[in-house]
A and B are shown apart, each in its own frame.
Chain A
Amino acid sequence: MEKVNSSAPAHETELERAVLNPLRKTTLPFWGAIAVLGVLFAFSMGTLVRQWVLGLGVTGLNRPVYWGIYITNFVFFIGISHAGTLISAILRVTNAEWRRPITRVAEAITFFALILGAMQILLDLGRLDRVLNVVIFGRFQSPLLWDVTCISVYLLSSTLYLYLPMIPDLARMRDRMADSDAATAATEGKKGSWQNWRYHLYRIMAIGWHGSAEQHRRLEKSIGLMAILIIPIAVSVHTVVSWIFGMMMQPMWHSTILGPYFVVGAIFSGIAMLFLFMTLIRKMWGLEKWIGAKQYNYLGILLLVMSVFWAYFTLSEYLTTGYGTLVHEQHVLQAKLSGEYAPWFYAMLLLNFFVPFAILIRRKGRTPAGTVIASAAIAVGMWIERFTIIAPTLTRPSLGYEKAIYTPSFTEIAITVGSLSLFAMLFLLFFKLFPAISIWEVEEGEHIAAVKRKAEELLGQPGVELVSDAVYESNRRRLETGV
């Protein structure tokens, strides 16, 4: 086995042990969860095959409700994909130190939610066999092409953005595996407990990282660049998702607020999803020490702010529509306020604003338990929000000779459950293979904190502002060389 000059400490740190142990040992509850999710997913695949054979008639869609919960799921998944962008990119750009232990989870949500979101559009196509026509005959005048373009770019850049900060950790795992293999080989004369293919996977993915100052400089530079680039890309993605609806002259869709409203909703549901998944990982992997009160408090405040933003946008949209008397708009509004969509509409308000606001406004509410309750409410509420934007408009067409009814069929519900299962399954399997916390970034954060404490000590005054890059860089080099 090749010997690589490693930047890792000679012995495993507590953080490393905590993060890497779940990757080595698999617990029964983990396999149980995978099995349950796998069965749900397999079942939904069965219904999907049936849909492909028979046609979209197996859904509850009709004329004029041409779009239903597949499109709702599409908007929902693309929405939660904003978790990664916000946490990683915005917090990285603004140098929020507490982001460090949760960036990896956030970026993984983005990656898998995007894949699931794009899949929903494919499920909804009448002719999946002709999907390449979008590439061959694509018309950029169609909002659908805007989506294809922006989502592809976002998927590429978020894959890169997930991968880049993982390189030092991959190298760390490569080295630890080499060490443990060598140790077992020496004592027992056989292969270590970590299987060989994983070593090769990490070795290839680490692309020769050995932690030199030059490599660090390049990595920081590219991560910094990606963090800035990915913010406008993410905003564009959810804006064009809303424009699929906004560009149509349909009541309550053809509104200028739709783009920003969707972006706010996306970030909002993204943070909620991050809370759910980071709590799950924290619990299953036992990472309470690193994902702690600080993260829950700060991110909780952010969630609270987004909830208020969302409520403000909702009020603007509905009050403007309601104050006017435009006939077609009124029909749709009535469907939501007092028609058959009223239960959905009020549930949406309750779950997206009243429940989270009541919990998160108090410091005591911004705990793991409190935020998980608020986030679960928001996750459901934001799905309902997407649904109440899409369905009521379609059931009340402008040429209103009759009102249409849309009831999702069993197939649609099964495929929705299957999609959520696949999402959770991919997420869990991913963190079975890759560390859930960015080890080197947390270590870097600890160094920075230590340096800062030292500087405060030396200068004898608290609250010293560090020129973080330069100071950190020189200190890190000093720590490394032991000078």
Chain B
Amino acid sequence: MPRWGMVIDLDKCFACQSCTAACRMENNTPPAGPGATDDGRAILWNEVLAFVEGEYPKTQVLLVPRPCQQCDNPPCTYVCPVKATYKNEDGIVVVDYDRCIGCRMCAVACPYQVRYFNWYAPAWPPALRAHLNPDPEVAPRPKGVVEKCTFCIQRLRHAKEKAEAEGRPFDATDYQPACVQTCTGHARYFGDLDDPESLVYQLSHSPRAFRLLEEMGTEPKVYYLKQG
């Protein structure tokens, strides 16, 4: 069983936000206007965070693309009162939108704020609505539930089905999330963290590799390569 993980090279990332856009199209997250975004209401499963340090002109900006960290030790799933969020058999933290009661305890427990709440029923302008991803697994979520990045698990299912149809064994390289596929600077790597032959295994063991808030013991499966 592969342990799915991601490596993001901060040296290669130039914050073009194409990962954010690809995620939005793949996972049907509703658009938010500037007002809602300013209010902290935008739903972005993948976000490019800006850490600004120092005063102008000696300003240091660190831009960090942040999908769900897919912790091996996820604090969010521990606090869910109804098991609406859990780590599935592929080790990916998912949300059962039909069971979630909207208490937002998981959202408060997550130290990375990767969890988003549907404050209102999601809405799209007609032109965008016509281009929603028809996959039932990413059907628009109802108002009042929590949602988050799933490493595009619908793509994992598609990859497995495809391999089966072609009569060949499923290979870890058959599957990658939309943000990895689209990354303009090839800064994102995806694969099996347990396979010593895989690129993500090697990169996650690089001396440049680090994880966000590692000291909290959440064991994220998203690694970053230090900006150098």
Contact = CB atoms under 8 A, between A and B. Distances in A.
Interface of A: 54-57, 61-67, 121, 124-127, 130-131, 133-134, 136-139, 141-145, 148, 244, 247-250, 394, 397-399, 401-402, 404-405
B119 A399 contact: no
B139 interface: no
Contact of A63 (B101, B107, B121, B212): B107
> Which of A63, A397, A404 has the most C-beta atoms of chain B within 10 angstroms of its own C-beta?
A63
13 contacts: A54-B120, A56-B102, A56-B117, A61-B119, A64-B107, A65-B40, A126-B104, A127-B102, A130-B100, A133-B84, A133-B99, A138-B81, A250-B108
Contacts of A137: 82-84, 99
Nearest to A147: B81
B99 A394 contact: no
- For the residues of B in contact with A, the DSSP-based class is loop
B213 interface: yes
B144 A64 contact: no
Interface size class of B (residues with CB under 8 A): 35 or more
> Which of B49, B51, B101, B115 has the most C-beta atoms of chain A within 10 angstroms of its own C-beta?
B101
A247 B102 contact: no
- For the residues of A in contact with B, the DSSP-based class is loop
Contacts of A62: 39-41, 119
Interface in B107-146: 107-109, 111-113, 115-121, 142-146
Contact of B113 (A64, A139, A148): A64
B211 to A, nearest CB: 12
B110 to A, nearest CB: 9
Nearest to A142: B81
Contacts of A144: 79, 81, 103, 105
Contacts of A399: 49, 111-113, 212-213
B80 A404 contact: no
B216 interface: yes
A139 B80 contact: yes
Contacts of B117: 56, 63, 66, 126
A248 B74 CA distance: 12
B50 interface: yes
Contacts of A136: 82
A55 B30 CA distance: 15
A65 B41 CA distance: 10
A61 B103 CA distance: 13
B42 to A, nearest CB: 8
A399 B146 CA distance: 20
A142 B113 contact: no
Contacts of B84: 133, 137
Given A399-B113, A401-B50, 15 more contacts: A55-B143, A55-B144, A57-B41, A64-B107, A65-B40, A125-B101, A130-B102, A133-B82, A136-B82, A137-B99, A141-B79, A142-B82, A244-B105, A248-B79, A401-B51
B103 A63 contact: no
Contact of A248 (B81, B109, B118, B120): B109
A188 to B, nearest CB: 58
A57 B120 CA distance: 6
Contacts of A250: 108-109, 111
A342 B79 CA distance: 31
Ranked nearest first, the 5 interchain pairs of A and B with the lowest CB-CB distance are A126-B102, A126-B144, A62-B40, A57-B119, A144-B81
Contacts of B145: 126-127
Contacts of A247: 79
Contacts of B91: none
Given A55-B118, A139-B82, A130 B107 contact: no
Contacts of B82: 133-134, 136-139, 142
A63 B79 contact: no
A212 B116 CA distance: 63
B78 interface: yes
A125 B40 contact: no
B100 A63 contact: no
A151 to B, nearest CB: 13
A402 B47 CA distance: 13
B31 interface: no
Contacts of A67: 104, 108
A63 B81 contact: no
Contacts of A397: 111, 113
Nearest to B100: A127
B40 A64 contact: yes
Contact of A131 (B41, B101, B143): B101
A138 to B, nearest CB: 6
Contacts of A404: 40
Interface string B13-40: 0000000000000000000000000011
Given A133-B101, A134-B81, A249-B75, A63 B41 contact: yes
Given A62-B40, A64-B113, A142 B144 contact: no
